Structure 1
Amino acid sequence: MGDTGIPVPSWAERVADRLGGGPHVVVTGISPSGHIHNLREVLVAEAVANALRNRGEEVRFVFHADTIDPLRKVAPGVPESYEEYFGHSLSRVPDPEGCHASYSDHFLVPFEEALHEMGMDIEVLRSHELYEDGVYTDVTREAIEHTERLRGILQEASGREMPGHWSPYLPRRTSGKLTGARVLEHLPEEHCVVFVDEDGFEETADYSKGEGKLGWRVELAARWKALGVTFEPFGKDHTSRGGSTDTADRMSREVFHYPIPGRFEYEWNYIKGQGAMSSSKGIVLLPKDLLKIMPPDALRRLFLGRDPARAIELDLWEGFPRFMDEFNEETGGSEVPFNHLALVAQTVGEDVEAAATMLRRGGYEGAAGDPEQLAQDLYYARNWARDWAPESMRIGLLEPEESREFAAGLDAEQREYLGAVAASLGPEMGGDEVQDLLYSTAVGRGLKPKRAFAAVYKTLLGKTSGPKAGPFIAGLPPEEVHRRFLGS
């Protein structure tokens, strides 16, 4: 309890105010049937949990992984042969790459690791273990005993007739499948159901031992009661008329007699040029990958935006440097423009001392004075430049021989311009001074600035454009700049 140290947005504080006194159980989760991308939902829940903690409330924050859910669709990148496991619990399907204990863990564990890397105070619960440990025994019995009422709620909410043999409970057949069985009898004292499979064979399933599960719409309301949930965020697809929350609310009130938890409806994430994020379509941004290009609080800002009730379009390419600059300005982070930091990182690699020297020459004394923080900032910038930067921003200082070849392709005016700049360029000059020198020399010689700067970039980078030239040149060893400008 107490201040978490993580900034809490005002909308989360308002939600916490409405929830009132605790103790509180904040829950979020998903079925790990593919790459998990719903970080926005988890971050909405975290923000509310932290707002409650900052008020001194007792809070349990849970990520509920629906690992007992049956496999219904093969995720992108998984062999089509996995269709043979349709209907089997994700926790009982083998990992397609053999690196984790199950299909569900293959997708869940990297996400879980990312949450902990972000410093999130969260419990990750696997639903198959909750069923096996008896956490859902009582609510499962309640659901089975009120089968007719639950059927009625589903029919009224969906507007379609439910089969006469419908049951809220899906027993696991001997084959391992959770589908295709028909419940015949409930034996509440033994926590069992008697059912027949598709072939007419009679079997029993003990729901206190996880030998089956509740259907997903019923399970949502049931787990609110089983876990004591007081808050859960939902995407707009779940909160639409006839959606999962519509039915769960009624089931919670009328069958389980449990108060409906507080909620927040968040909008979807979109990836620029690709559309809405979707695990089934392979349109995802994985948290572990994103933590390689930005710190955890920047990732929180990226996904939450100003207001998670509004849709966001994520741009990890051209727009990312601007996002990082805005984030650093608001949080007191690096003073170095992210584009320039990416340039430095590409120029010096992992050599932090060389980067510090380059930044000092460019006028960024503050950033150069904290080697540990600089190393971290360079790590993010270097990874972004390698994995996400558009081609125009992927740069590196030319080798002397390459520079001479590009210089030979310049016209006489451009070569004379570079010679004049080299003659006036001093090692003590800062980035702004060099920028002024480049511009004033071009104007003084009647050379259009565009052609002048193209000559600069050509001899240094082999491109016609690049980062702001003054700070870049000021950060380079003076002898290297002179050599290239003079074509020697």
Structure 2
Amino acid sequence: MPTVAQSSTETDWVSRFADEVIAESERRAPGKPVVVASGISPSGPIHLGNLREVMTPHLVADEIRRRGHEVRHLISWDDYDRFRKVPAGVDGVDESWAEHIGRPLTSVPAPKGSAHPHWAAHFKAVLIGSLAELGVEYDGISQTEQYTAGAYREQVLHAMRHRADIDAILDQYRTKKTPQKKSQKPLDEAELEAAEGSGAAGEEDGTGSAGYFPYKPYCGQCDKDLTTVTAYDDDSTELTYTCTACGHSETVLLNEFNRGKLVWKVDWPMRWAHEGVIFEPSGVDHSSPGSSFQVGGEIVDRIFGGRQPIGPMYAFVGISGMAKMSSSKGGVPTPADALKIMEAPLLRWLYARRRPNQSFKIAFDQEIQRLYDEWDKLGAKVADGSALPADVAAYTRAVGTAAGALPVTPRPLAYRTLASVADITAGHDEQTLRILSDLDPANPLSSLDEVRPRLDRAEHWISSQVPAEARTIVRAEPDTELLSSLDEAGRESLRRLLDGLDSHWSLDGLTTLVYGVPKVMAGLAPDAKPTPELKVAQRTFFALLYRLLVTRETGPRLPTLLLAVGADRVRVLLGG
């Protein structure tokens, strides 16, 4: 893929961050790959809000690759985090999983029926598949593997030697509370939960009755982190702990012991230094004053001799018709859920077009049709050169990466049209092909493959997101009672429609016809501009057609509905 036009730099957030990250990397580590990072805790379903943690550095890393620089996007799988609570609404999981609270995510059984060996692998696998579909290139790092292999041994010992210094840094913030701005509206329930912290962000900082220790062992008997370090010797590295869960106590040599981890507020800055991270975003729960990102900046500098990454805060991602997402609540949509109803470029575009600190919503309701209309219009503007530079940049980042273009639908028919057809045909391929070919008789489809994968996404949206009572059911027999009750004007409007069917049998033609009949009935030309009175007459006519065809006064766009029903059946149902 080509480099995104530099003319967009002033308005394109990705280009601005890429400039900053490249310059900072050259100052810190000249000649080495640029390192950007994400951290994902597979503590439950990894939802579309979590995806922003990945997409923000991905888009910046991809721009850096387009400019010819070597870059590594690290995704740190925080699978050595403790299992904090049983998430609601997860299939195959019940309250018996509460017995595993306090164990590493890699030691918790996967949900019943899962093909994966443990909890973390189960939830990682779903996101890994989605990232491949989204074209996200990354290096995955399992924190379970890192810690249990002793990869951070020197950093752990160093942190323990400097525990008093770390404690002093943390102590500056322990009594501070962030005042809520007077203009700030009260947080709703989901926002409050997210603000309290997600995953490791909510963990204790290492303070205990025996003093401060930045390392937390997992118990050798019950495998839980409900442990308290009671003694530590810097010279011998002897560490003694007791477990409040099972009562087990033991003394180990920390220079050999691999069953534990640094507490979160020390672990995160340690990894910044260890990996040489230049850019890593963080959510609002990590970014407020006194939180892990701010404290981490001091710890990485004063304890580990590293530098804090460039770290924009990213805002919430919501779902149309739902509260803001929190992964501890059940039923929150995942990237895999979104990719079942929308193509990967559209989902990428939603993250690319908004600055990280701007919240946005992802549509699972009727709004997805408008969203697709907006996407298709942008594509047309990009093609004819009329799009704004920032919009071109976002579109370019959506449709491909530095490695190449993402798969696209060869003939991207309007999503709302495909959804209407899928609604009426219930996924019957032969009927679908007939209807879609009639949209443009001069250029008919030869195969449904021409409109895939968009057709598949629209069909899944209809079947999974539209309730049964809202589905379109075409009448089996004409409504003779309604037809016989019509006055002469009503019967005449139906005659004019039926007389024009054959000569207008295409999507554009039927659009002209259904809007034109009320105009002609009012003594106007078929192409007359609508007036308020005419709009009322058109709505009345449309409601009549819907009642005669599908028993309701609303439904799919009438031209699409007429094509789907077919001319012969339309004539029967309209009394022709």
Normalization by structure 2: what TM-score?
A: 0.76
1:411 has 2:489 as partner: no
Q: Which residue, 498, 512, 521 being the options, matches 1:436? A: 512
Equivalent in the alignment of 2:110: 95
Name the SS for the 1:245 alignment partner: helix
Structure 2: which 5+ residue stretches go unaligned? 27-31, 177-204, 381-408, 523-535
Runs of 5+ consecutive residues of structure 1 not aligned to the other structure:
none
Query: Is 1:464 the equivalent of 2:553?
Result: yes
Q: Which residue of the partner structure matches residue 151 of structure 1?
A: 167
Deviation larger for 376-385 or 224-233: 224-233
Deviates further, 84-93 or 130-139: 130-139
Q: Tell me which of 3, 11, 14 is aligned to 2:13.
A: 11
Q: Which residue is 2:439 aligned to? A: 362
* CA distance in structure 2 between the aligned counterparts of 1:406 and 1:282, rounded to whole angstroms: 48
Spell out, residue by residue over 1:120-162, the C-alpha distance to the aligned partner (whole angstroms, 9 max, x if none): 1123322111112232222112111111111111111223794
Out of 205, 211, 228, the residue aligned to residue 181 of structure 1 is 228
- Separation in 2, partners of 1:466, 1:102: 46
When the two chains are superposed, the root-mean-square deviation of aligned CA atoms in Å is 3.1
Is the Cα contact below 8 Å between 1:367 and 1:374 reproduced in 2? no
| Between 12-21 and 194-203, the greater mean CA deviation after superposition | 194-203
- Partner secondary structure for residue 552 of structure 2: coil
Equivalent residues of 1:360, 1:475 under 8 A apart: no
What are the superposed Cα offsets for residues 272-331 of structure 1, whole Å, 9 maximum, x if unpaired? 343221011336221111101111111112344432221113332121111111112223
Residue in structure 1 matching 2:280, options 229, 232, 235: 232
Matched with 2:82 is 70
SS at match of 2:227: coil
Structure 1 equivalent of residue 457 of structure 2:
380
Decide whether the 8 Å contact of 2:107 with 2:119 is kept in 1. yes
Partner in structure 2 of residue 117 of structure 1: 133
Equivalent in the alignment of 2:59: 47
Structure 2 vs 1, CA of residues 364 and 222 (structure 1 numbering), >3 Å: closer, same or farther?
farther
**Alignment partner for residue 337 of structure 1, among 406, 414, 419?**
414
- 1:339 and 1:97 mapped to 2: Cα distance? 38
**Residue number among 30, 51, 55 corresponding to 2:40 in the alignment:** 30
Distance in 2, matches of 1:172 and 1:308, equals 36
* CA 1:67–1:364: 2 relative to 1, 3 Å: farther
- Judge conservation of contact 1:269–1:311 (CA < 8 Å) in 2: yes
> Quick one: distance in 2 between partners of 1:335 and 1:2?
23
1:287 aligns with 2:289: no
Distance 1:367 1:329 in 2: 22
- Structure 2 counterpart of 1:185, one-letter code: Y
**Structure 1 segment 156-171 matched on structure 2, within 5 A:** 156-159=172-175, 162-163=207-208, 164-171=210-217
Matching residue's letter, 1:128 = T
Q: SS at the partner of 1:231?
A: coil
1:274 equivalenced with 2:322 (yes/no): yes
Secondary structure at 2:241 match in 1: strand
Normalised to the residue count of structure 1, the TM-score between the two structures is 0.89
Find the counterpart in structure 1 of residue 371 from structure 2.
323
Q: CA deviation at 1:360?
A: 3.8
Match of 2:75, SS? strand
1:453-488 deviation per Cα after TM superposition (whole angstroms, max 9, x unaligned)? 12211222222122332344246532222222226x
Q: Distance in 1 between matches of 2:441 and 2:291?
A: 54
1:453 matched residue in structure 2:
542
The alignment partner of 1:217 has SS state of: helix
Letter of the 1:437 partner, please give it.
L
Structure 1 equivalent of residue 525 of structure 2: none
Pick closer, same or farther for the CA change 1:440–1:246 going to 2, 3 Å: closer
Choose from 500, 522, 537 the match for 1:424: 500
Q: Which has the higher contact order (CA 8 A, sep 6+)?
A: 2
Q: Counterpart of 1:237 in structure 2: which amino acid?
A: D
Tell me how far apart the structure 1 counterparts of residues 80 and 555 of structure 2 sit (CA, whole Å).
52
Task: Note if 1:83 corresponds to 2:98.
Answer: yes
Q: Percent identity?
A: 28
CA deviation after TM superposition for structure 1 residue 176, in Å? 0.7
* Structure 2 residue identity aligned to 1:269: V
1:278 alignment partner, SS class: coil
The Cα shift of 1:67 comes to: 0.9
Whether the aligned pair in 1 keeps the contact of 2:438 and 2:444 (CA below 8 Å) is: no
2:312 corresponds to? 264
Whole-Å Cα distance in 1 between the matches of residues 541 and 141 of structure 2?
61
Q: How does 1:239-258 map to 2 (within 5 A)?
A: 239-258=287-306
Instruction: Supply the AA of the counterpart residue of 1:132.
Output: T
Aligned to 2:73: 61
* Change in CA separation of 1:444 and 1:325 when aligned onto 2, cut-off 3 Å: closer
CA separation in 2, counterparts of 1:408 and 1:476?
18
Bigger mean CA offset, 300-309 vs 22-31? 300-309
Relative to structure 1, is the Cα distance of residues 307 and 10 closer, same or farther in structure 2, using a 3 angstrom cutoff? same
The farther-off stretch of 79-88 and 211-220 is 79-88
1:188 & 1:29 partners in 2: Cα distance?
A: 33
Deviation at 1:208, TM superposition (A): 5.7
Structure 1 stretch displaced more, 288-297 or 327-336: 327-336
The alpha-carbon deviation at position 83 of structure 1 amounts to: 2.1
Question: Secondary structure of the equivalent of 2:341?
Answer: coil
Letter in 2 for 1:151: D
SS of 1:470's equivalent in the other structure is helix
Residue 211, structure 1, aligned to residue 259, structure 2: yes
CA contact under 8 A between 2:441 and 2:506: conserved in structure 1?
no
3-state secondary structure, aligned to 2:212: coil
In 1, Cα distance between equivalents of 2:143 and 2:472 = 48
